[in-house]
């Protein structure tokens, strides 16, 4: 691991983070939550906000996919996603839902310019709730070419976090 240059937990906590917060809006699967933690660790994301019935660490099913990322990535729990968005806006974050919606911005065209940004990821079946969409500054969409036009939430998180870390 030393040869790979991996950060220790303490070094991760001290490192400058990507000014990006991931908001999980009523995610059901503990494995998906753990995978998002792992991706957030990989890209030095500032924090994850867990909302509604989204499972919270510590839990062995989250840890199974997080592989220790629950110890490195900062996280907070909010009763509702609306509460999380209200806090983010008070903290001067631009808030975008990752959702296929009218007027959405294609991911490769979105420009963050290192601004403090939050990305809301929705429920595995329902997506981002309509009342939450109304609170967001806009929607970002991952372009897709196949017949399904949907991705697993943890896969979508990995794609958007990579893009917003390295290409905006």
CB atoms < 10 A from the CB of 150, how many?
14
CA–CA separation, 33 and 49 (whole Å) = 11
105: cis peptide before it, omega within 30°? no
CA dihedral defined by 149, 155, 157, 160, rounded to 10 degrees?
Answer: -70
For residue 126, give its domain range: 2-166
Q: 3-state DSSP call for residue 38? A: helix
Average pLDDT over residues 29-49: 97
Residue 92, token pair as written in the block: 């001067």
CATH number of the domain bearing residue 23: 3.40.1280.10
Residues 60-77 pLDDT 10s: 999 999 998 999 999 999
Residue 49, token pair as written in the block: 């906000």
Global pTM value:
0.94
Q: Is the confidence at residue 47, as pLDDT, over 70?
A: yes
Give the number of domains in the chain.
1
Cα-to-chain-centroid distance, residue 112: 15
């Amino acid at each position: 691991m030393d040869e790979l240059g991996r950060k220790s937990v303490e070094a991760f906590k001290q490192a400058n983070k990507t000014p990006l917060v991931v908001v999980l809006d009523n995610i059901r699967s503990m494995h998906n939550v753990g995978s998002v933690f792992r991706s957030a660790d990989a890209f030095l994301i500032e924090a994850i906000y867990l909302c509604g019935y989204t499972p919270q660490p510590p839990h062995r099913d989250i840890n199974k996919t997080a592989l220790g990322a629950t110890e490195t990535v900062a996280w907070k729990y909010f009763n509702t996603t609306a509460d999380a968005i209200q806090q983010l806006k008070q903290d001067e974050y631009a808030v975008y839902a990752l959702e296929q919606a009218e007027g959405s911005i294609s991911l490769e065209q979105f420009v963050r310019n290192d601004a403090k940004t939050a990305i809301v990821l929705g429920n595995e079946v329902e997506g981002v709730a309509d009342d939450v969409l109304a609170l967001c500054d806009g929607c970002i969409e991952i372009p897709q070419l196949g017949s399904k036009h949907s991705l697993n939430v943890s896969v979508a998180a990995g794609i958007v976090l990579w893009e917003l870390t390295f290409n905006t």
